[in-house]
Amino acid sequence: MIKVSETAKQKVVALMTEEGFDATKDYVRVGVKSGGCSGLSYELKFDDKTADNDKVFEDNSVRIIIDKKSFLYLVGTTLEYSGGLNGKGFVFNNPNAQRTCGCGESFSL
């Protein structure tokens, strides 16, 4: 399960609307891929379809899909949004990550 903070929810809904998606029926696809300075990096995009190997969740009125492989790395993660002076954007608070890089976009287990 992935949690979505209130700030992240507001930003997701705004971005989905900008890109022609409907936050009430479309999804945020969250995944993990090889790469980044710590070995694994996060992926975040919008999608209007699910695949057979996807897990579907909803938190804070945000519909999330994760492929089964990525799910193992992301269990318990909270998606947050930081729009302060450092302008980070979306942030993954992942309790499974043993090490993260300085930019927060990659991690290792």
Q: Give the tens place of pLDDT for each residue, 56-91.
A: 999 999 999 999 989 988 999 999 998 766 667 888
pTM of the model: 0.81
Say how many Å lie between the first and final Cα of the chain, rounded.
Answer: 18
Rounded CA-CA distance 31/44 in Å is 7
More confident position, 42 or 63:
63
